[in-house]
Amino acid sequence: MSEQKNYSVLAFYAFEPVADPHAEVVAQKAFLQELDATARIYISEQGINAQMSLANNDVERYVTWLREREPFKNADIKIQLHHEHAFPRLTVKYRKQLVAVDCDIDLSQRGQHVSPTQWKKMLDEKTGALLLDVRNDYECKVGHFANAELPPCNEFREFTRYLQGLKERYDPKQTPVMMYCTGGIRCEVFSSLMMQQGFETDYQIHGGVIKYAEEVGADHWQGKLFVFDDRLTVPMGDHDTPSVGICHHCGKPSESYYNCANMDCNALFLCCPECLTTHSGCCQDSCRQASRLRPVSQQNAHKPFRKWYHYAKDKSWGKTKEK
Ligand SMILES: [Zn+2]
Ligand SMILES: [Zn+2]
């Protein structure tokens, strides 16, 4: 039975100066509150990073309104259909940095955008470029480009350290890099970092893997695509691809992500239904002994959970220290 897809999941970003980001937060929120919308939107002086789901009927209204706002008039908006909202609520916030980094980055020096078709052609031709996945390691586990470097990193600091090792294995001057991430925004920042480190030629997919899936499909891709909303994974366009994900506990094929039931851990991991039960939804034995365990439900376990202090804050479950 095919479900009715009455919602659109939108993703876009823009690195364009926003004169008054706080006023922009208020404006976006006020406009979206009038629509059937959920979102996770961050705005800074540097621009916007936006993901949202809208009732299909409201998409045109929002896009028309957005296009009239100077910094965002050319933003490339990616749209996918879904059967329900993809975010828990409407969140629009100011953030100092759109992509969390801990060093100064010169965004005027960035990699070259190539279209998804061009990207596929480069992979077909086996140019010898270094194919680099700049997403977090748990995102790569469910799917990635074939033969890509998958850095074992979960935060920017680890990535900068990883880059030092990469420079020892590859001559930055002689090695063209093909870098990709989910929607493209991380590549904007990471490519400038790599250029600062001496990697001279850097390509990135215009619109990220989401755009690639939409325009090219699953060619050269293995598995599914991880996304940062309630869907957690999406297929590559209309294509059904064999699973590459494996259960964190037993190693059997699995494409279902769960947050560890220990609310102070909350690690996201792939798990099969059997192990979910036998390990009480936990990522490791020590987590099963923890004091703040949420009950495991097969039904809603696929939706991302938050750490304990988010619940404490949201649902007034008593006072907990904010980290
Ligand atoms: Zn298992
Ligand atoms: Zn855990």
- Model confidence over 88-97: pLDDT tens digits? 999 999 999 8
Which residues participate in catalysis according to the annotation? Answer: 181
- Strand order of the sheet with strand 90-94? 78-82, 7-14, 47-55, 37-44, 90-94
How far, in Å, is the centroid of ligand 1 from the Cα of 284? 12
How far, in Å, is the centroid of ligand 1 from the Cα of 15? 42
Q: 203 pLDDT exceeds 70?
A: yes
How far, in Å, is the centroid of ligand 1 from the Cα of 254? 8
pTM of the model: 0.85
Q: What is the pLDDT of residue 322?
A: 36
Q: Point out the ligand nearest to the CA of residue 248.
A: 1
Confidence at 99, pLDDT banded by 50, 70, 90: confident
Please tell me the number of Cα atoms within 13 Å of 99 on its side-chain side. 25
- β-sheet bridge partners, residue 9: 53, 80
The ranges assigned to domains in the chain are 7-94, 112-223, 257-315
Burial letters for 154-190: b for 16+ Cβ neighbours within 10 Å, e otherwise?
A: eebeebbebbeebeeeeebeebbbbbbbbbbbbbbbb
CA 138 – CA 65 distance, rounded (Å): 36
Q: Point out the ligand nearest to the CA of residue 307.
A: 2
What is the assigned CATH class of domain 112-223?
alpha beta
Q: What is the CATH number of domain 7-94?
A: 3.30.70.100
Q: 315 pLDDT exceeds 50?
A: no
